[in-house]
């Protein structure tokens, strides 16, 4: 037995997303079935749907910023009941026994985690060999990979927390961002706007670093204490050696050296946006000031729940534009153009029409 599901899929790198019928597995004793209310659009969805990373299998159902309500639970499920708000992020399985998984860092699973979409479905129970994502009406997930969504948050605006939220929260927590520290967030998009909100809520002095002077007012509304225009050579020179931490959300390969110069001695810049080769990294700014350049990938399940609870306590959600699923292809094109503040979220109730 399986659960009949419907969603949107693409069947090639050049095809648009279209309605698609498929199957989810019936819940095992440890599984939770979620009726999906909203799913955010991440730029990774677009890269994957268009096979820009060269590893997509078709048909392909994107979506890993999933929120909804529990529709069914297996007999061994604890902590969730039918009707609860629940979320699913970027991964739905991992080996669970390696050093990383045992540390609650499933995103770094030594044997490779199973992505919410486009991953080899090692659990099975359906005719499909790969996982299908959240651009759909329902999903079945092992309870270990299901998260509680605080009831006080707007549900649609909470959806991107499952990727954009944890991607920025995790490095800020890992590098102990807090009061008294000067933090720069590079790039004001889906990731950057969450970085500003989190760093501000953690008590840091936050500067938005952007190429666009027009984004200054928005950055301040989000919680930035100041704005640094990276194209302004004099302003960048004046800001050298002044930041304790930089969160770099630029989504493409770029020269990191101008930003490295902004760091104090022993400070760190973390890359979370670019999954492309960096165009230039000079060793001198690192060596002569003992600076660090690091990377960070989403978060484990324990930390993701911590992030959601933090959002509930501080009333933090993403700034979104809610859309009908019939407009998903237009939303993809607008996302590529940077024409969204700051995340599209699909209303899955529109699947019915």
Residue-range domains of the chain with CATH: 2-163+318-352 (3.90.180.10), 165-295 (3.40.50.720)
For residue 280, what pLDDT is reported? 84
For residue 50, what pLDDT is reported? 97
Which residues, 6+ apart, have CB-to-CB distance to 302 below 8 Å? 104
For residue 182, what pLDDT is reported? 98
Task: Tell me which residue has tokens 């299901």.
Answer: 146
CA atoms of 280 and 268, how far apart (whole Å): 17
CB 39 within 8 A of CB 65: yes
For residue 277, what pLDDT is reported? 87
Tokens of 174: 């890992």
User: Which H, E and C letters describe the chain, residue by residue?
Assistant: CEEEEEEEEECCCCCCCEEEEEEEECCCCCEEEEEEEEEECCHHHHHHHCCCCCCCCCCECCCCCEEEEEEEECCCCCCCCCCCEEEECCEEECCCCCHHHHCCCHHHCCCCCEECCCCECCCCCCCCCECCCCCECEEEEEHHHCEECCCCCCHHHHHHHHCHHHHHHHHHHHCCCCCCCEEEEECCCHHHHHHHHHHHHCCCEEEEEECCHHHHHHHHHHCCCEEEECCCHHHHHHCCCCEEEEEECCCCCCECHHHHCCEEEEEEEEECCCCCCCCECCHHHHHCCCCEEEECCCCCHHHHHHHHHHHHHHCCCCCEEEEEHHHHHHHHHHHHHCCCCCEEEEEHHHHHC
For residue 105, what pLDDT is reported? 98
For residue 236, what pLDDT is reported? 97
Query: Tens digit of pLDDT per residue, the chain (353 long)?
Result: 799 999 999 999 999 999 999 999 999 999 999 999 999 999 999 999 999 999 999 999 999 999 999 999 999 999 999 999 999 999 999 999 999 999 999 999 999 999 999 999 999 999 999 999 999 999 999 999 999 999 999 999 999 999 999 999 999 999 999 999 999 999 999 999 999 999 999 999 999 999 989 899 999 999 999 999 999 999 999 999 999 999 999 988 899 999 999 999 999 999 998 888 888 889 998 999 999 999 999 999 999 999 999 999 999 999 999 999 999 999 999 999 999 999 999 999 999 97
Per-chain mean pLDDT for the chain: 96
């Amino acid at each position: 037995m399986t659960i009949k599901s419907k969603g949107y899929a693409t069947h090639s790198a050049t095809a648009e997303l279209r309605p698609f019928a498929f199957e989810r597995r019936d819940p095992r004793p440890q599984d939770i079935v979620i009726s999906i209310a909203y799913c955010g659009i991440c730029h990774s969805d677009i890269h994957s749907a268009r096979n820009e990373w060269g590893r997509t299998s078709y048909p392909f159902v994107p979506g890993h910023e999933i929120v909804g309500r529990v529709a069914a639970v297996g007999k061994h499920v604890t902590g969730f009941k039918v009707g609860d708000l629940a979320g699913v992020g970027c991964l739905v399985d991992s080996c669970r026994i390696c050093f990383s998984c045992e540390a609650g860092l499933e995103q770094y699973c030594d044997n490779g985690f199973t992505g919410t979409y486009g991953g080899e479905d090692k659990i099975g129970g359906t005719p499909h060999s790969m996982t299908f994502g959240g651009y759909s009406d329902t999903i079945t997930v092992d309870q270990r990979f299901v998260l509680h969504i605080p009831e006080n948050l707007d549900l649609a605006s909470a959806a991107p927390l499952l990727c954009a939220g944890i991607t920025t929260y995790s490095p800020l927590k890992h590098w102990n961002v807090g009061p008294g520290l000067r933090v720069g967030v590079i790039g004001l998009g889906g990731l950057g706007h969450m970085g500003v909100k989190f760093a501000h809520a953690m008590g840091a002095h936050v500067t938005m670093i952007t190429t666009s002077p027009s984004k200054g007012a928005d950055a301040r509304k989000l919680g930035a204490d100041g704005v640094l225009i990276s194209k302004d050579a004099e302003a960048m020179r004046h800001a050298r050696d002044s930041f304790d931490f930089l969160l770099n959300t630029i989504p493409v390969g770029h020269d990191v050296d101008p930003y490295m110069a902004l760091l104090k001695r022993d400070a760190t810049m973390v890359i979370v946006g670019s999954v492309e080769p960096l165009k230039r990294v000079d060793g001198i700014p690192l060596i002569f000031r003992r600076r660090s350049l690091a990377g960070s990938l989403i978060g484990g399940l324990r930390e993701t729940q911590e992030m959601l609870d933090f959002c509930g306590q501080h009333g933090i959600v993403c700034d979104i534009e809610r859309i009908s699923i019939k407009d998903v292809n237009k939303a993809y094109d607008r996302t590529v153009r940077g024409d969204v503040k700051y995340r599209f979220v699909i209303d899955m109730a529109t699947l019915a029409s």
